[in-house]
Amino acid sequence: MKFEDAGKAIDREVAKLGKYLDKKVKPATKAETAKLLRRASRQLLRMARSLEKTAN
């Protein structure tokens, strides 16, 4: 799988997750999921920075 294809697949899955959260999940669970996604986002940012450092 190409990197670009992986990114597109992630985008599709994130869109599915958003639709699911809007339709099926209770407000308290949405708040907890938002916290989890923010934490994952910070971790992904750190991983991206690490990759950039090793690419140069």
Q: What is the pLDDT of residues 36-47, one digit of tens each?
A: 999 999 999 999
pTM above 0.85, yes or no: no
- If one counts the domains in the chain, the total is 1
Rounded Cα distance, 10 and 42, in Å? 16
**Percentage of the chain with pLDDT > 70?**
96
pLDDT band at 12 (very low <50, low <70, confident <90, very high): very high
Lowest-confidence pick of 15-19, 22-26, 42-46: 22-26
Structural domain that includes position 20: 3-55
Instruction: Answer with the residue of higher pLDDT: 49 or 1.
Output: 49
